[in-house]
């Protein structure tokens, strides 16, 4: 029997830390908003946001992703000045309190990224696929990594309506791959090294549930583009619609999707539920053969007199 062949993940390197198949990264979400779709991650209060970051690190987070605006159009209006007020003081506190932590800024606005750049942000998470073409250049100028996303051409904070990519179910996969490849090329031309270009199929954004599930099945094809892959699936609508569950009851479905994507080579996972996601990723990495068990004594000979477990 030949060796098991699995998709080979490209590593992500940020702030001197390397994330790869042996050590996938949990990107913990800290929403500085009052209207996150998931009520468990609303941290408009600064002290609550600080506690959320501390809890995430204790639970095994590798990256902290901070956002100041809800992604969907149902949320409150937030201009750039207000977004800066929400995220920059928190990032300043996070950098001074935890100088080693990898900090990510979730924004589509270059002016917000420019203000946060002085703090030492390590990653710009551009969820809206280059809607602001200056954003990738700000990431390059500040030495940050950059997330290339796919939204089907929709502008920021637009919920998908009458989405279509063609008659063939895999047409959405082709569009995702083409868009991510071009976005990654632009990021590299802007001066960002490939090891800091993170590509995200961006499930739910500009996609029906059927689209998102099809793209998830083809995670290995996204991995084959040769860049580290982010999957942001935690408690999203495609999970909720698949199981007919509200956001508060989507943990198990999110973890199932996480396990599949990790098996297929994704290495960064944006998550509300850090501890559970960390354990799933470590287990999948070990099943894949990329990570050793932390302890392996079952069935192993012991010195005489030592009790078996």
Coil, helix or strand at residue 17: strand
Q: What is the pLDDT of residue 39?
A: 73
Check whether 3 has a pLDDT greater than 70: no
- Supply the mean pLDDT for the chain: 94
* Alpha-carbon span 234 to 272, nearest angstrom: 6
As a whole number, mean pLDDT of residues 37-66 equals: 92
What is the DSSP track for 202-214?
Answer: -TTTT--HHHHHH
Token pair of 55 as six digits: 């809890």
Provide the strand spans (E) within 163-287: 197-200, 230-232, 268-271
Token pair of 122 as six digits: 């390590």
pLDDT digits (tens, 9 = 90+) for 112-168: 999 999 899 999 999 999 999 999 999 999 999 999 999 999 999 988 888 999 999
Coil, helix or strand at residue 255: helix
**Cβ 41 vs Cβ 250: under 8 Å:** no
Question: DSSP character for 77?
Answer: P
Instruction: Provide the whole-model pTM.
Output: 0.93
As a whole number, mean pLDDT of residues 9-14 equals: 96
* Alpha-carbon span 58 to 52, nearest angstrom: 10
Give all domains of the chain, ordered by start, each with its CATH number: 16-288 (3.20.20.20)
Token pair of 151 as six digits: 């939204």
Vertex 183 angle, CA 19 and 273, to 5°:
40
Lowest mean pLDDT among 35-39, 130-134, 265-269: 35-39
pLDDT digits (tens, 9 = 90+) for 61-115: 999 999 999 887 777 889 999 999 999 999 999 999 999 999 999 999 999 999 9
Cα–Cα distance list, 41 to 54, 67, 229 (Å): 14, 11, 24
**Cβ 98 vs Cβ 38: under 8 Å:** no
Cβ atoms < 10 Å from Cβ of 174 = 14
Nearest Cα to 227, choosing from 259, 189, 193, 274? 193
Question: DSSP character for 12?
Answer: E
Most confidently predicted of 35-39, 130-134, 301-305: 130-134
Q: Pick the catalytic residue: 157, 207, 270, 288?
A: 270
Check whether 278 has a pLDDT greater than 90: yes
Higher pLDDT residue, 6 or 72? Answer: 6
Cα–Cα distance list, 22 to 6, 66, 84, 309 (Å): 13, 25, 36, 28
pLDDT digits (tens, 9 = 90+) for 192-232: 999 999 999 999 999 999 999 999 999 999 999 999 999 99
Check whether 246 has a pLDDT greater than 60: yes
Given pLDDT bands bounded at 50, 70 and 90, which one contains residue 56? Answer: very high
Nearest Cα to 231, choosing from 209, 191, 185, 263? 263
pLDDT > 90 in the chain, percent = 83
Token pair of 16 as six digits: 């001197």
Given pLDDT bands bounded at 50, 70 and 90, which one contains residue 308? Answer: low
At residue 16, φ and ψ (nearest 5 deg) are: 75, 5
Question: DSSP character for 20?
Answer: B
Q: What is the pLDDT of residue 305?
A: 61
β-strands 12-14, 17-19: how paired?
antiparallel
As a whole number, mean pLDDT of residues 228-249 equals: 97
Q: Look up 236 and say whether it is catalytic.
A: yes
**CA dihedral sign, ordered 212, 213, 216, 218:** negative
**CA dihedral sign, ordered 105, 107, 110, 114:** negative
Q: Pick the catalytic residue: 86, 235, 236, 288?
A: 236
Provide the strand spans (E) within 68-196: 102-106, 123-125, 145-149
């Amino acid at each position: 029997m030949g060796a098991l062949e699995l998709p080979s993940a490209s590593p992500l390197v940020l702030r001197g830390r390397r994330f790869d198949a042996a050590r996938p990264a949990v990107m913990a979400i800290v929403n500085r908003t009052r209207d996150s779709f998931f009520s468990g991650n609303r941290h408009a209060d600064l002290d609550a946001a600080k506690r959320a970051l501390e809890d995430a690190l204790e639970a095994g987070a590798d990256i902290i992703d901070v956002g100041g605006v809800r992604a969907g159009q149902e949320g409150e209006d937030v201009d750039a000045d207000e977004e800066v007020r929400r995220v920059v003081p928190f990032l300043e506190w996070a950098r001074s309190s935890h100088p080693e932590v990898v900090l990510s800024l979730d924004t589509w606005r270059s002016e917000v990224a420019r203000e946060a750049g002085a703090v030492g942000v390590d990653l710009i998470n551009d969820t809206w696929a280059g809607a602001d073409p200056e954003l990738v250049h700000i990431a390059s100028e500040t030495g940050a990594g950059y997330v290339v996303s796919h939204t089907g051409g929709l502008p920021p904070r637009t919920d998908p309506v009458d989405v279509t990519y063609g008659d063939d179910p895999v047409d959405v996969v082709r569009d995702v791959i083409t868009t991510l490849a071009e976005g990654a090329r632009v990021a590299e031309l802007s001066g960002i090294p490939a090891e800091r270009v993170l590509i995200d199929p961006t499930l739910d954004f500009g996609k029906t549930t059927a689209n998102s599930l099809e793209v998830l099945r083809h995670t290995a094809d996204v991995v084959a583009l040769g860049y580290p892959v982010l999957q942001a699936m935690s408690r999203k609508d495609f999970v909720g619609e698949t199981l007919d569950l509200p956001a508060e009851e989507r943990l198990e479905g999110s973890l199932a999707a996480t396990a599949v994507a990790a098996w297929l080579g994704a290495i960064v996972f944006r998550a509300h539920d850090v501890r559970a996601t960390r354990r799933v990723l470590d287990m999948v990495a070990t099943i894949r053969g990329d990570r050793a068990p932390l302890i392996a004594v079952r069935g192993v000979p012991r010195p005489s007199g030592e009790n078996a477990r």
